[in-house]
Chains A and B, each alone.
Chain A
Amino acid sequence: MLNDVTNIVVEALPQFQGYVYPNEAALHPVWSTLIVVYPYITGLVAGAFIMASLVRVFNVKALEPVYRLSMLTAFAFLLCAPLPLLFHLGHPERCYEIMMTPHLTSPMAVFGFVYAWYLMAVLLLELWFDFRQDFVKWSKVTSGFQGILYRALTLGVTDVSEPSVRLDTKMEWVLSIVGIPSAFLLHGYVGFIFGSIKANPWWGNVLMPIMFILSAIVSGIALCVFNYIVLTWIRRKTVDMRCLDTMAMFLFYALVVDAVVEGLDVLHRGYAAEEGFAVLQTMIREKLFYTLNIGQVGIGTLLPLLLLGSLQVLRRRVPEAVRRTMIFWSGAMILIGVLAMRWNVVMGGQFFSKSLRGVMSYKMEFAGQEGWLISAIIMCLPFIILTVLVKLFLSERLQPNGHSSQSSSAT
Protein backbone atom coordinates (compact mmCIF):
# COMPACT_ATOMS: atom_id res chain seq x y z
CA MET A 1 0.00 0.00 0.00
CA LEU A 2 2.70 2.45 0.90
CA ASN A 3 4.88 1.56 -2.06
CA ASP A 4 2.43 2.24 -4.83
CA VAL A 5 1.54 5.59 -3.35
CA THR A 6 5.15 6.69 -3.63
CA ASN A 7 5.04 6.26 -7.42
CA ILE A 8 3.30 9.54 -8.06
CA VAL A 9 2.04 9.59 -11.61
CA VAL A 10 3.25 12.69 -13.36
CA GLU A 11 1.50 13.64 -16.55
CA ALA A 12 4.24 14.30 -19.04
CA LEU A 13 2.63 16.92 -21.22
CA PRO A 14 4.61 17.02 -24.45
CA GLN A 15 3.26 20.43 -25.28
CA PHE A 16 6.00 22.49 -23.79
CA GLN A 17 9.71 22.53 -23.14
CA GLY A 18 11.25 24.25 -20.17
CA TYR A 19 8.83 25.59 -17.61
CA VAL A 20 5.48 27.17 -18.33
CA TYR A 21 2.85 28.32 -15.90
CA PRO A 22 0.30 25.52 -15.48
CA ASN A 23 -2.45 27.67 -16.94
CA GLU A 24 -0.41 28.13 -20.09
CA ALA A 25 -0.04 24.39 -20.68
CA ALA A 26 -3.43 24.07 -22.33
CA LEU A 27 -4.05 22.25 -25.57
CA HIS A 28 -4.98 25.31 -27.58
CA PRO A 29 -3.78 28.88 -27.36
CA VAL A 30 -6.16 31.43 -25.93
CA TRP A 31 -6.04 33.61 -29.05
CA SER A 32 -5.85 31.72 -32.31
CA THR A 33 -6.19 32.20 -36.05
CA LEU A 34 -9.27 34.38 -35.67
CA ILE A 35 -7.27 36.94 -33.76
CA VAL A 36 -4.62 36.78 -36.49
CA VAL A 37 -7.23 37.47 -39.16
CA TYR A 38 -8.86 40.40 -37.36
CA PRO A 39 -5.87 42.79 -37.37
CA TYR A 40 -5.15 41.67 -40.92
CA ILE A 41 -8.61 42.72 -42.06
CA THR A 42 -8.69 46.05 -40.22
CA GLY A 43 -5.20 46.72 -41.53
CA LEU A 44 -6.35 46.17 -45.08
CA VAL A 45 -9.28 48.52 -44.47
CA ALA A 46 -7.09 51.25 -43.03
CA GLY A 47 -4.47 50.85 -45.76
CA ALA A 48 -6.93 50.82 -48.64
CA PHE A 49 -8.66 53.88 -47.27
CA ILE A 50 -5.43 55.79 -46.78
CA MET A 51 -4.43 55.03 -50.33
CA ALA A 52 -7.77 56.30 -51.55
CA SER A 53 -7.34 59.43 -49.45
CA LEU A 54 -4.17 60.20 -51.35
CA VAL A 55 -6.45 61.04 -54.28
CA ARG A 56 -8.77 63.37 -52.40
CA VAL A 57 -6.44 64.97 -49.88
CA PHE A 58 -3.12 65.08 -51.65
CA ASN A 59 -4.58 65.34 -55.16
CA VAL A 60 -2.60 62.45 -56.60
CA LYS A 61 -4.52 62.47 -59.87
CA ALA A 62 -2.72 59.37 -61.18
CA LEU A 63 -4.57 57.23 -58.67
CA GLU A 64 -8.04 58.40 -59.72
CA PRO A 65 -8.84 55.20 -61.69
CA VAL A 66 -8.46 53.08 -58.58
CA TYR A 67 -10.18 55.43 -56.13
CA ARG A 68 -13.63 53.88 -56.15
CA LEU A 69 -12.28 50.34 -56.12
CA SER A 70 -10.13 51.14 -53.08
CA MET A 71 -13.06 52.63 -51.21
CA LEU A 72 -15.28 49.67 -52.01
CA THR A 73 -12.49 47.30 -50.98
CA ALA A 74 -12.20 49.09 -47.67
CA PHE A 75 -15.96 48.84 -47.24
CA ALA A 76 -16.15 45.12 -48.09
CA PHE A 77 -13.40 44.29 -45.63
CA LEU A 78 -14.80 46.54 -42.94
CA LEU A 79 -18.12 44.72 -43.07
CA CYS A 80 -16.32 41.48 -42.31
CA ALA A 81 -14.10 42.90 -39.59
CA PRO A 82 -16.35 42.12 -36.58
CA LEU A 83 -16.81 38.50 -37.67
CA PRO A 84 -13.56 37.04 -36.31
CA LEU A 85 -14.17 38.78 -33.01
CA LEU A 86 -17.70 37.50 -32.77
CA PHE A 87 -16.65 33.94 -33.47
CA HIS A 88 -13.83 34.15 -30.99
CA LEU A 89 -15.83 35.30 -27.98
CA GLY A 90 -16.75 32.81 -25.30
CA HIS A 91 -20.14 34.50 -25.11
CA PRO A 92 -20.95 36.20 -28.42
CA GLU A 93 -24.52 36.79 -27.28
CA ARG A 94 -23.12 39.29 -24.78
CA CYS A 95 -21.23 41.24 -27.41
CA TYR A 96 -23.53 44.25 -27.02
CA GLU A 97 -21.94 44.87 -23.61
CA ILE A 98 -18.91 46.36 -25.28
CA MET A 99 -21.04 49.21 -26.58
CA MET A 100 -23.31 49.53 -23.59
CA THR A 101 -20.74 49.52 -20.77
CA PRO A 102 -17.38 50.04 -22.43
CA HIS A 103 -14.60 50.02 -19.86
CA LEU A 104 -12.62 52.93 -21.14
CA THR A 105 -9.32 51.85 -19.62
CA SER A 106 -9.30 48.98 -22.07
CA PRO A 107 -8.17 49.50 -25.66
CA MET A 108 -10.55 46.75 -26.68
CA ALA A 109 -13.47 48.74 -25.38
CA VAL A 110 -13.05 51.42 -27.99
CA PHE A 111 -13.67 48.85 -30.70
CA GLY A 112 -17.43 49.36 -30.79
CA PHE A 113 -17.25 53.12 -31.11
CA VAL A 114 -14.24 53.38 -33.38
CA TYR A 115 -15.76 50.79 -35.67
CA ALA A 116 -19.15 52.47 -35.70
CA TRP A 117 -17.59 55.90 -36.24
CA TYR A 118 -15.34 54.69 -39.03
CA LEU A 119 -18.07 52.71 -40.76
CA MET A 120 -20.79 55.32 -40.60
CA ALA A 121 -19.18 58.71 -40.21
CA VAL A 122 -16.19 58.14 -42.48
CA LEU A 123 -16.47 55.33 -44.98
CA LEU A 124 -20.19 55.19 -45.72
CA LEU A 125 -20.48 58.95 -45.68
CA GLU A 126 -17.57 59.45 -48.06
CA LEU A 127 -18.84 56.72 -50.34
CA TRP A 128 -22.27 58.32 -50.31
CA PHE A 129 -21.00 61.73 -51.24
CA ASP A 130 -18.92 60.24 -54.03
CA PHE A 131 -21.66 58.08 -55.46
CA ARG A 132 -24.63 60.29 -54.71
CA GLN A 133 -25.01 61.84 -58.13
CA ASP A 134 -24.55 58.44 -59.76
CA PHE A 135 -27.25 57.00 -57.52
CA VAL A 136 -29.61 59.69 -58.73
CA LYS A 137 -28.64 59.02 -62.32
CA TRP A 138 -28.74 55.22 -62.07
CA SER A 139 -32.03 55.10 -60.19
CA LYS A 140 -33.60 56.69 -63.25
CA VAL A 141 -32.25 54.17 -65.76
CA THR A 142 -32.47 50.87 -63.86
CA SER A 143 -35.52 48.99 -62.71
CA GLY A 144 -36.38 46.14 -60.38
CA PHE A 145 -34.40 45.47 -57.21
CA GLN A 146 -31.38 47.44 -58.35
CA GLY A 147 -33.50 50.46 -59.13
CA ILE A 148 -35.08 50.36 -55.70
CA LEU A 149 -31.64 50.01 -54.15
CA TYR A 150 -30.26 53.08 -55.94
CA ARG A 151 -33.34 55.09 -55.10
CA ALA A 152 -33.07 54.12 -51.44
CA LEU A 153 -29.40 54.99 -51.41
CA THR A 154 -30.08 58.52 -52.59
CA LEU A 155 -31.79 58.98 -49.19
CA GLY A 156 -34.46 60.88 -51.04
CA VAL A 157 -32.08 63.62 -52.14
CA THR A 158 -32.29 64.15 -55.89
CA ASP A 159 -30.59 67.51 -56.15
CA VAL A 160 -27.75 67.30 -58.69
CA SER A 161 -27.32 71.00 -59.34
CA GLU A 162 -23.93 72.71 -59.50
CA PRO A 163 -23.88 73.96 -55.89
CA SER A 164 -24.83 70.52 -54.55
CA VAL A 165 -22.07 68.87 -56.60
CA ARG A 166 -19.59 71.38 -55.22
CA LEU A 167 -20.83 70.60 -51.71
CA ASP A 168 -20.38 66.90 -52.35
CA THR A 169 -16.80 67.41 -53.46
CA LYS A 170 -16.05 69.62 -50.48
CA MET A 171 -17.58 67.09 -48.06
CA GLU A 172 -15.52 64.32 -49.60
CA TRP A 173 -12.38 66.33 -49.04
CA VAL A 174 -13.34 67.03 -45.40
CA LEU A 175 -14.19 63.39 -44.80
CA SER A 176 -10.94 62.22 -46.30
CA ILE A 177 -9.07 64.49 -43.94
CA VAL A 178 -11.12 63.28 -40.98
CA GLY A 179 -10.76 59.75 -42.28
CA ILE A 180 -7.00 59.53 -42.17
CA PRO A 181 -6.68 59.85 -38.38
CA SER A 182 -9.81 57.71 -38.05
CA ALA A 183 -8.16 54.99 -40.10
CA PHE A 184 -5.07 55.29 -37.94
CA LEU A 185 -7.29 54.91 -34.91
CA LEU A 186 -9.14 51.94 -36.35
CA HIS A 187 -5.99 49.97 -36.80
CA GLY A 188 -3.76 51.72 -34.32
CA TYR A 189 -5.94 50.67 -31.40
CA VAL A 190 -5.43 47.05 -32.44
CA GLY A 191 -1.69 47.61 -32.31
CA PHE A 192 -2.19 49.24 -28.95
CA ILE A 193 -4.12 46.21 -27.71
CA PHE A 194 -0.90 44.30 -28.07
CA GLY A 195 1.41 47.17 -27.26
CA SER A 196 -0.31 47.84 -23.94
CA ILE A 197 0.25 44.36 -22.52
CA LYS A 198 3.23 44.95 -20.28
CA ALA A 199 2.99 41.36 -19.11
CA ASN A 200 4.17 40.08 -22.47
CA PRO A 201 7.63 41.16 -23.64
CA TRP A 202 6.94 40.20 -27.26
CA TRP A 203 3.90 42.47 -27.42
CA GLY A 204 4.28 45.21 -24.87
CA ASN A 205 6.38 47.85 -26.47
CA VAL A 206 5.87 51.34 -27.76
CA LEU A 207 6.56 50.52 -31.43
CA MET A 208 3.74 48.02 -31.69
CA PRO A 209 0.93 50.41 -32.77
CA ILE A 210 3.30 52.10 -35.21
CA MET A 211 4.40 48.79 -36.73
CA PHE A 212 0.79 47.76 -37.08
CA ILE A 213 -0.23 50.97 -38.82
CA LEU A 214 2.73 50.95 -41.18
CA SER A 215 2.25 47.33 -42.17
CA ALA A 216 -1.46 48.07 -42.54
CA ILE A 217 -0.76 50.84 -45.02
CA VAL A 218 1.58 48.55 -46.93
CA SER A 219 -0.94 45.71 -47.01
CA GLY A 220 -3.78 48.05 -47.99
CA ILE A 221 -1.93 49.44 -50.97
CA ALA A 222 -0.87 45.91 -51.95
CA LEU A 223 -4.50 44.81 -51.78
CA CYS A 224 -5.60 47.65 -54.02
CA VAL A 225 -2.87 46.74 -56.50
CA PHE A 226 -4.01 43.14 -56.40
CA ASN A 227 -7.71 43.94 -56.77
CA TYR A 228 -7.11 46.46 -59.53
CA ILE A 229 -5.05 44.08 -61.65
CA VAL A 230 -7.42 41.18 -61.05
CA LEU A 231 -10.52 43.24 -61.83
CA THR A 232 -9.03 44.68 -65.00
CA TRP A 233 -7.94 41.23 -66.07
CA ILE A 234 -11.43 39.81 -65.46
CA ARG A 235 -12.95 42.61 -67.51
CA ARG A 236 -10.38 42.08 -70.24
CA LYS A 237 -9.35 45.71 -70.17
CA THR A 238 -5.86 47.14 -70.03
CA VAL A 239 -4.41 48.48 -66.84
CA ASP A 240 -3.72 52.18 -66.53
CA MET A 241 0.06 51.99 -66.18
CA ARG A 242 0.41 55.50 -64.80
CA CYS A 243 -1.94 54.52 -61.97
CA LEU A 244 -0.18 51.23 -61.37
CA ASP A 245 3.27 52.81 -61.40
CA THR A 246 2.15 55.42 -58.88
CA MET A 247 0.70 52.72 -56.62
CA ALA A 248 3.94 50.78 -56.90
CA MET A 249 5.89 53.87 -55.92
CA PHE A 250 3.78 54.47 -52.83
CA LEU A 251 3.94 50.79 -52.00
CA PHE A 252 7.71 50.82 -52.21
CA TYR A 253 8.22 53.82 -49.97
CA ALA A 254 5.66 52.61 -47.45
CA LEU A 255 7.42 49.26 -47.37
CA VAL A 256 10.77 50.94 -46.81
CA VAL A 257 9.44 52.85 -43.80
CA ASP A 258 7.72 49.74 -42.46
CA ALA A 259 10.87 47.62 -42.87
CA VAL A 260 12.97 50.27 -41.13
CA VAL A 261 10.66 50.45 -38.12
CA GLU A 262 10.38 46.68 -37.82
CA GLY A 263 14.13 46.43 -38.17
CA LEU A 264 14.51 49.01 -35.42
CA ASP A 265 12.38 46.88 -33.13
CA VAL A 266 14.58 43.84 -33.77
CA LEU A 267 17.73 45.90 -33.33
CA HIS A 268 16.60 47.35 -30.03
CA ARG A 269 15.58 44.01 -28.65
CA GLY A 270 18.88 42.44 -29.52
CA TYR A 271 20.89 45.35 -28.23
CA ALA A 272 19.12 45.83 -24.91
CA ALA A 273 18.87 42.04 -24.41
CA GLU A 274 16.45 42.35 -21.53
CA GLU A 275 15.49 39.39 -19.44
CA GLY A 276 12.92 38.00 -21.84
CA PHE A 277 15.29 38.07 -24.78
CA ALA A 278 16.63 34.55 -24.28
CA VAL A 279 13.22 32.91 -24.30
CA LEU A 280 12.16 35.06 -27.24
CA GLN A 281 15.16 33.87 -29.21
CA THR A 282 14.24 30.28 -28.40
CA MET A 283 10.63 30.91 -29.34
CA ILE A 284 11.54 32.48 -32.68
CA ARG A 285 13.94 29.70 -33.50
CA GLU A 286 11.58 26.91 -32.53
CA LYS A 287 8.15 28.25 -33.43
CA LEU A 288 8.42 31.18 -35.81
CA PHE A 289 11.36 30.13 -37.93
CA TYR A 290 9.49 29.75 -41.21
CA THR A 291 6.79 32.34 -40.72
CA LEU A 292 9.26 35.00 -39.63
CA ASN A 293 12.37 34.46 -41.69
CA ILE A 294 10.78 33.19 -44.86
CA GLY A 295 7.23 34.51 -44.60
CA GLN A 296 7.52 37.96 -43.11
CA VAL A 297 11.09 38.92 -43.90
CA GLY A 298 11.92 37.01 -47.06
CA ILE A 299 8.72 36.89 -49.01
CA GLY A 300 6.99 39.79 -47.35
CA THR A 301 9.76 42.37 -47.23
CA LEU A 302 13.04 41.60 -48.97
CA LEU A 303 11.75 40.24 -52.27
CA PRO A 304 9.15 43.00 -52.79
CA LEU A 305 11.74 45.62 -51.81
CA LEU A 306 14.01 44.19 -54.46
CA LEU A 307 11.35 44.07 -57.15
CA LEU A 308 9.76 47.41 -56.41
CA GLY A 309 13.06 49.07 -55.71
CA SER A 310 14.46 48.02 -59.05
CA LEU A 311 11.33 49.40 -60.68
CA GLN A 312 11.92 52.74 -58.98
CA VAL A 313 15.45 52.81 -60.33
CA LEU A 314 14.82 51.45 -63.82
CA ARG A 315 11.36 52.96 -64.28
CA ARG A 316 10.16 53.10 -67.90
CA ARG A 317 13.13 51.14 -69.15
CA VAL A 318 11.29 48.01 -68.03
CA PRO A 319 8.59 47.00 -70.54
CA GLU A 320 4.96 47.37 -69.37
CA ALA A 321 4.08 43.72 -69.25
CA VAL A 322 7.11 42.94 -67.10
CA ARG A 323 6.37 45.89 -64.82
CA ARG A 324 2.81 44.70 -64.40
CA THR A 325 3.94 41.19 -63.46
CA MET A 326 6.55 42.46 -61.04
CA ILE A 327 4.11 44.80 -59.33
CA PHE A 328 1.42 42.13 -59.16
CA TRP A 329 3.71 39.59 -57.58
CA SER A 330 5.16 42.16 -55.21
CA GLY A 331 1.64 42.97 -54.09
CA ALA A 332 0.74 39.32 -53.63
CA MET A 333 3.94 38.61 -51.69
CA ILE A 334 3.38 41.60 -49.44
CA LEU A 335 -0.13 40.42 -48.68
CA ILE A 336 1.28 37.07 -47.61
CA GLY A 337 4.09 38.72 -45.70
CA VAL A 338 1.78 40.99 -43.70
CA LEU A 339 -0.46 38.05 -42.82
CA ALA A 340 2.69 36.29 -41.65
CA MET A 341 3.55 39.35 -39.57
CA ARG A 342 0.16 39.24 -37.86
CA TRP A 343 0.66 35.55 -37.19
CA ASN A 344 4.13 36.16 -35.78
CA VAL A 345 2.90 38.87 -33.46
CA VAL A 346 -0.28 37.22 -32.20
CA MET A 347 0.87 33.63 -32.00
CA GLY A 348 4.47 34.43 -31.14
CA GLY A 349 3.26 36.21 -28.03
CA GLN A 350 1.59 33.03 -26.90
CA PHE A 351 4.26 30.53 -27.78
CA PHE A 352 6.45 31.36 -24.81
CA SER A 353 5.66 31.36 -21.13
CA LYS A 354 5.38 34.51 -19.07
CA SER A 355 7.69 32.76 -16.63
CA LEU A 356 10.29 33.40 -19.36
CA ARG A 357 11.42 29.83 -18.89
CA GLY A 358 9.58 27.81 -21.46
CA VAL A 359 8.17 27.54 -24.93
CA MET A 360 4.80 25.95 -25.72
CA SER A 361 3.59 23.95 -28.68
CA TYR A 362 -0.07 24.22 -29.39
CA LYS A 363 -2.22 22.13 -31.62
CA MET A 364 -3.78 24.30 -34.27
CA GLU A 365 -7.16 22.85 -34.96
CA PHE A 366 -8.75 22.74 -38.37
CA ALA A 367 -12.45 22.80 -37.68
CA GLY A 368 -13.73 24.14 -34.39
CA GLN A 369 -14.32 27.56 -32.94
CA GLU A 370 -10.90 28.98 -33.73
CA GLY A 371 -9.79 26.67 -36.44
CA TRP A 372 -8.25 27.25 -39.84
CA LEU A 373 -11.49 26.58 -41.65
CA ILE A 374 -13.46 29.39 -40.16
CA SER A 375 -10.59 31.83 -40.57
CA ALA A 376 -10.25 30.87 -44.23
CA ILE A 377 -13.97 31.41 -44.77
CA ILE A 378 -13.81 34.81 -43.10
CA MET A 379 -10.87 35.77 -45.33
CA CYS A 380 -12.77 34.80 -48.49
CA LEU A 381 -15.97 36.54 -47.50
CA PRO A 382 -14.79 40.13 -48.18
CA PHE A 383 -13.86 39.18 -51.72
CA ILE A 384 -17.33 37.77 -52.28
CA ILE A 385 -18.86 40.95 -50.89
CA LEU A 386 -16.53 43.03 -53.04
CA THR A 387 -17.67 41.16 -56.14
CA VAL A 388 -21.28 42.07 -55.33
CA LEU A 389 -20.29 45.69 -54.66
CA VAL A 390 -18.35 45.92 -57.89
CA LYS A 391 -21.31 44.54 -59.82
CA LEU A 392 -23.64 47.05 -58.20
CA PHE A 393 -21.46 50.15 -58.05
CA LEU A 394 -18.66 49.74 -60.53
CA SER A 395 -20.67 48.17 -63.32
CA GLU A 396 -19.32 48.90 -66.73
CA ARG A 397 -22.78 49.16 -68.20
CA LEU A 398 -23.77 52.04 -65.94
CA GLN A 399 -20.54 54.00 -65.98
CA PRO A 400 -18.61 53.23 -69.17
CA ASN A 401 -16.50 56.36 -68.93
CA GLY A 402 -17.41 57.57 -65.47
CA HIS A 403 -15.07 59.97 -63.74
CA SER A 404 -13.84 57.37 -61.30
CA SER A 405 -14.21 54.14 -63.20
CA GLN A 406 -11.41 52.06 -64.68
CA SER A 407 -10.10 53.60 -67.88
CA SER A 408 -11.07 51.38 -70.73
CA SER A 409 -7.84 51.73 -72.61
CA ALA A 410 -4.69 53.74 -72.56
CA THR A 411 -4.99 56.02 -75.53
Chain B
Amino acid sequence: MRRFKLPPQILRLVLLALAIVGSYLVARSFLVPPSFGEYGWYRGDALAEIASRPPVFAGKQACDECHSDILHNLAADAHKTLSCEDCHGVCQKHCNDPDILPDKATGSHCIRCHEANLARPAWLKQIVVKDHYGPKCTECHLPHQPNKTP
Protein backbone atom coordinates (compact mmCIF):
# COMPACT_ATOMS: atom_id res chain seq x y z
CA MET B 1 0.00 0.00 0.00
CA ARG B 2 1.70 3.18 -1.16
CA ARG B 3 1.67 5.92 1.46
CA PHE B 4 -0.25 8.95 0.18
CA LYS B 5 2.09 11.89 -0.35
CA LEU B 6 0.85 15.33 -1.22
CA PRO B 7 2.55 16.62 -4.40
CA PRO B 8 4.90 19.50 -3.55
CA GLN B 9 2.94 22.01 -5.66
CA ILE B 10 -0.29 21.31 -3.85
CA LEU B 11 1.39 21.44 -0.46
CA ARG B 12 2.88 24.87 -1.14
CA LEU B 13 -0.41 26.18 -2.45
CA VAL B 14 -2.40 24.89 0.50
CA LEU B 15 0.03 26.52 2.92
CA LEU B 16 -0.16 29.78 0.98
CA ALA B 17 -3.95 29.66 0.98
CA LEU B 18 -4.05 29.06 4.73
CA ALA B 19 -1.70 31.99 5.27
CA ILE B 20 -3.89 34.30 3.21
CA VAL B 21 -7.13 33.25 4.90
CA GLY B 22 -5.45 33.45 8.29
CA SER B 23 -4.20 36.99 7.76
CA TYR B 24 -7.67 38.01 6.57
CA LEU B 25 -9.25 36.72 9.75
CA VAL B 26 -6.67 38.47 11.90
CA ALA B 27 -7.20 41.73 10.01
CA ARG B 28 -10.94 41.33 10.47
CA SER B 29 -10.66 41.09 14.23
CA PHE B 30 -8.78 44.38 14.24
CA LEU B 31 -10.74 46.33 11.70
CA VAL B 32 -14.38 45.55 12.38
CA PRO B 33 -15.75 48.25 14.72
CA PRO B 34 -16.69 46.94 18.17
CA SER B 35 -20.35 47.98 18.12
CA PHE B 36 -20.96 46.53 14.67
CA GLY B 37 -23.90 44.17 14.59
CA GLU B 38 -25.44 45.48 17.82
CA TYR B 39 -28.83 46.21 16.24
CA GLY B 40 -28.24 45.03 12.70
CA TRP B 41 -25.66 45.18 9.94
CA TYR B 42 -24.28 48.53 11.02
CA ARG B 43 -22.28 50.22 13.71
CA GLY B 44 -24.51 50.45 16.78
CA ASP B 45 -22.65 53.52 17.99
CA ALA B 46 -23.83 55.38 14.89
CA LEU B 47 -27.27 55.89 16.40
CA ALA B 48 -25.81 57.74 19.34
CA GLU B 49 -23.46 59.73 17.14
CA ILE B 50 -26.21 60.87 14.81
CA ALA B 51 -28.41 61.80 17.76
CA SER B 52 -25.68 63.79 19.44
CA ARG B 53 -25.85 66.69 16.98
CA PRO B 54 -27.01 69.85 18.82
CA PRO B 55 -30.45 71.05 17.62
CA VAL B 56 -30.63 74.42 15.89
CA PHE B 57 -34.29 75.43 16.11
CA ALA B 58 -35.57 75.95 19.62
CA GLY B 59 -39.13 74.85 18.97
CA LYS B 60 -42.42 76.47 19.92
CA GLN B 61 -42.55 74.77 23.30
CA ALA B 62 -39.35 76.49 24.33
CA CYS B 63 -40.99 79.89 23.68
CA ASP B 64 -43.89 78.92 25.92
CA GLU B 65 -41.63 79.02 28.97
CA CYS B 66 -41.43 82.81 28.89
CA HIS B 67 -43.94 84.01 26.33
CA SER B 68 -46.98 82.00 27.30
CA ASP B 69 -49.25 85.05 27.01
CA ILE B 70 -48.38 85.57 23.35
CA LEU B 71 -48.81 81.90 22.69
CA HIS B 72 -52.17 82.00 24.41
CA ASN B 73 -53.30 84.73 22.02
CA LEU B 74 -51.83 82.90 19.10
CA ALA B 75 -53.64 79.70 19.94
CA ALA B 76 -57.01 81.45 19.82
CA ASP B 77 -56.73 82.74 16.29
CA ALA B 78 -55.92 81.71 12.71
CA HIS B 79 -52.14 81.68 13.11
CA LYS B 80 -52.24 79.00 15.77
CA THR B 81 -50.53 76.54 13.46
CA LEU B 82 -47.47 78.76 13.05
CA SER B 83 -44.26 78.27 14.94
CA CYS B 84 -42.64 81.36 16.47
CA GLU B 85 -39.46 80.67 14.55
CA ASP B 86 -41.31 80.90 11.21
CA CYS B 87 -41.19 84.68 11.46
CA HIS B 88 -38.68 85.31 14.22
CA GLY B 89 -36.00 83.02 12.87
CA VAL B 90 -33.90 80.59 14.88
CA CYS B 91 -34.30 81.52 18.55
CA GLN B 92 -31.81 79.17 20.15
CA LYS B 93 -29.43 81.98 21.13
CA HIS B 94 -32.30 83.97 22.59
CA CYS B 95 -33.43 80.98 24.66
CA ASN B 96 -30.00 80.65 26.17
CA ASP B 97 -29.51 84.37 26.72
CA PRO B 98 -32.72 86.45 26.59
CA ASP B 99 -30.71 89.63 26.05
CA ILE B 100 -29.81 88.43 22.58
CA LEU B 101 -32.93 89.32 20.62
CA PRO B 102 -34.18 87.11 17.79
CA ASP B 103 -34.62 88.49 14.25
CA LYS B 104 -37.35 91.05 13.79
CA ALA B 105 -40.26 89.73 11.80
CA THR B 106 -40.84 91.75 8.63
CA GLY B 107 -43.52 92.00 5.97
CA SER B 108 -41.57 89.61 3.79
CA HIS B 109 -42.61 86.88 6.18
CA CYS B 110 -46.28 87.71 5.67
CA ILE B 111 -45.88 87.76 1.91
CA ARG B 112 -44.08 84.45 1.87
CA CYS B 113 -47.28 82.63 2.71
CA HIS B 114 -49.98 85.05 1.72
CA GLU B 115 -48.87 86.20 -1.72
CA ALA B 116 -51.56 85.00 -4.08
CA ASN B 117 -50.36 82.05 -6.13
CA LEU B 118 -52.58 79.97 -8.37
CA ALA B 119 -51.10 76.79 -6.93
CA ARG B 120 -52.03 77.68 -3.37
CA PRO B 121 -55.12 75.99 -1.92
CA ALA B 122 -58.33 78.00 -1.57
CA TRP B 123 -58.56 77.72 2.22
CA LEU B 124 -55.53 80.01 2.57
CA LYS B 125 -56.27 83.74 2.60
CA GLN B 126 -54.21 85.17 -0.25
CA ILE B 127 -53.67 88.70 -1.49
CA VAL B 128 -52.17 90.16 -4.62
CA VAL B 129 -49.56 92.22 -2.86
CA LYS B 130 -49.20 95.03 -5.35
CA ASP B 131 -52.94 95.60 -5.42
CA HIS B 132 -53.40 95.34 -1.66
CA TYR B 133 -53.96 98.37 0.53
CA GLY B 134 -50.89 99.71 2.28
CA PRO B 135 -47.21 98.90 2.21
CA LYS B 136 -47.10 97.87 5.86
CA CYS B 137 -49.06 94.74 6.84
CA THR B 138 -49.16 95.61 10.54
CA GLU B 139 -51.09 98.84 9.86
CA CYS B 140 -54.24 96.73 9.57
CA HIS B 141 -53.30 93.25 10.88
CA LEU B 142 -52.00 91.95 14.19
CA PRO B 143 -49.43 89.25 13.44
CA HIS B 144 -50.30 87.05 16.40
CA GLN B 145 -54.04 87.54 16.07
CA PRO B 146 -54.56 88.12 12.36
CA ASN B 147 -58.36 88.33 12.53
CA LYS B 148 -58.17 91.22 14.94
CA THR B 149 -57.31 94.78 13.99
CA PRO B 150 -54.86 96.91 15.98
Contact = CB atoms under 8 A, between A and B. Distances in A.
A and B touch in the complex (CB under 8 A): yes
Interface string B115-150: 100000000000001100001000000000000000
B41 A103 contact: yes
A6 interface: yes
A157 B8 contact: yes
Interface residues of A, number: 24
Contact of A101 (B7, B36, B129): B36
A100 B31 contact: yes
Nearest to B115: A6
A103 B27 CA distance: 18
B94 to A, nearest CB: 24
Contact of B32 (A101, A125, A157, A164): A101
Given A1-B135, A101-B32, A132 B13 contact: no
Contacts of A120: 20
Given A3-B130, A5-B108, A125 B12 contact: no
B107 interface: yes
Most A CB atoms within 10 A — which of B7, B16, B24, B106?
A: B7
Interface size class of chain B, counting residues whose CB lies under 8 Å from the partner chain: 20 to 34
A159 B8 contact: yes
B111 interface: yes
Nearest to B15: A155
Given A2-B135, A103-B41, A157 B27 contact: no
B111 A6 contact: yes
A307 B79 CA distance: 76
A245 interface: no
A6 B12 CA distance: 79
B130 A167 contact: no
B9 interface: yes
Contacts of B130: 3, 6
A156 interface: yes
Interface string A337-377: 00000000000000000000000000000000000000000
A99 B107 CA distance: 57
Interface string B88-119: 00000000000000000011100100010000
A168 B9 contact: yes
Nearest to A167: B7
B107 A5 contact: yes
A96 interface: yes
Interface in B13-31: 13, 16, 20, 24, 27-28, 31
Given A2-B135, A101-B41, A132-B9, 13 more contacts: A6-B111, A97-B31, A99-B24, A100-B32, A103-B41, A120-B20, A129-B9, A155-B9, A157-B8, A157-B12, A159-B8, A164-B7, A168-B9
Interface of B: 7-10, 12-13, 16, 20, 24, 27-28, 31-32, 36, 41, 106-108, 111, 115, 129-130, 135
17 contacts: A1-B108, A2-B107, A2-B108, A2-B135, A5-B107, A6-B111, A96-B31, A100-B27, A100-B31, A101-B36, A125-B13, A132-B9, A155-B16, A156-B12, A167-B9, A168-B9, A171-B9
